[in-house]
Amino acid sequence: MLELQDLDLQLDVVAHKRKSLPEHQALAELGAEKAVVDRELVAADTLVSDLRREQKKADSDVEQVRQRKARNQQRLDSGQVTSPKDLENLQHEIGSLDRRISDLEDAELEVMERLEAAEATQADLQGRAAAFAGRQAELESSRDAALKDLDEQRATLGDQRASLAAELPDDLITQYQRLRERNGGIGAAPLVGKRCMGCRMELAPSDLNKMKATAPDVVLRCEECGRILVRTPESAV
């Protein structure tokens, strides 16, 4: 029975290790950080896309005004316009177009600067996302290796437990399991001297006398904690 208890405690340790692997916590923290970066990256991608469209439009607007100015300048230089009033209007329009081009180029430059900053932010976030992905892969690989090792231990211990449990009466196993559930995983404990090593309490003389009078094949129970008591060479009974 004590061997069974020892195997169960080892299985409990393995189960605890599986749940408390440092990789689990690291992956959870990494996932939370990555989620923030992913949201920021989506926003950065959207902003870059919008600014590229805006820059394309700004480039187109400047080019259209430049072409219009070039046509007017060509008319002016060709001598096709002879009327003084028309010449004055044409020169005035060319001047207006120059000012319009200047304004559009300023707007174009402002968009380019905003785009450059947005692309720098995007690149930084992409780098961080890639680093997160690399770190995540490393942690998952480490976690999977640890879980594989623990699962192998669990399988070996489980086989040993099954073989051992098969040699014990079913009703005793059932009783032991219930006691384990009620007593923090300890259903059976050795009796060392006069002390139950499950609850660490020393048994009363009257209880010890009753145990001494009990047949060796009778299951003993601690009167203090209710656990199954197992006689050992160090027992006082």
- CATH of residue 15's domain is 1.10.287.1490
The model's pLDDT over 182-219, given as tens digits with 9 standing for 90+, comes to 999 999 999 999 999 999 999 999 999 999 999 988 99
Per-residue pLDDT, 156: 97
Residues 125 and 231 in one domain: no
Residues 183 and 85 in one domain: no
**Token pair for 169:** 């009466």
Per-residue pLDDT, 236: 86
d(CA 222, CA 3) in angstroms, rounded, equals 18
Residues 76 and 149 in one domain: yes
Residues 25 and 40 in one domain: yes
Per-residue pLDDT, 217: 85
Residues 160 and 231 in one domain: no
Per-residue pLDDT, 220: 94
Residues 80 and 193 in one domain: no
Residues 108 and 194 in one domain: no
Closest of 192, 194, 181 to residue 226, by C-alpha? 181
Domain count along the chain: 2
What residue numbers bound the domain in which 222 lies? 170-235
Which stretches in the chain have pLDDT values below 70? none
